[in-house]
Amino acid sequence: QVVLIDLDMSDASALEPLTVCLALVDAPVIVLAGKDAHRIAQAAIELGAQDCLSMRSEAKFLYKAIKYAILRYQRSKSHQRTSEEALQRSNTLLQGILESIPVALCAFDQDQNLIARNGLYQSVLGLPDHLFCQSPTSFASILEFQITQGEFGPGEHRDVLADRLSQVQQGM
């Protein structure tokens, strides 16, 4: 399966149909363009097209482009699957290491989203499963839960949350 898309280069939005096509279709896409095919070839390929040919191309070039587009696409998909499988194995290994550490452990990214934790982190802090169902789990949502449980003493929840987040941002 290959998608051939005819792009008219008469206006600036000519690549828009290609962008839509690539978002909707899981197949290699070859762009067919008029006399200005050379002008848009690089842009089309950078967007994700497998090839860009002139409408005046001979049938043998179109056949060859289709054949190679399918091969490149299959290779790309195979490489993507291999990479995803390797990433999954690495994540499983990392989670196993985290679980074997006998202390409550977590890590947050620069946006204050939880990126790693072990089971002890959740159990020691008494955090419910539903906090970790959302993706990403924010530091603020964990802190907010703890505040509602009275972990930080009395006070308006909103004020306590703002104060604690401010302290974290200041590096305290």
Nearest residue to 31 (alpha-carbon basis) of 23, 48, 70, 59: 48
Torsions phi, psi for 118 (to 5 deg): -110, 170
pLDDT of 98 above 70: yes
Instruction: Tell me the pLDDT tens digit for each residue of 37-59.
Output: 777 888 888 999 999 888 777 88
CB 15 within 8 A of CB 44: yes
Pairing of strands 114-117, 3-7: unpaired
Range in 31-45, 52-66, 124-138, 140-154 the model is least confident about? 31-45
Strand-pair partners of 138 = 113
CA separation for the pair 26, 73 (Å, rounded): 10
Q: What crossing angle do the helices spanning 157-169 and 139-148 adopt, rounded to 10°?
A: 140
Nearest residue to 127 (alpha-carbon basis) of 118, 135, 75, 136: 118
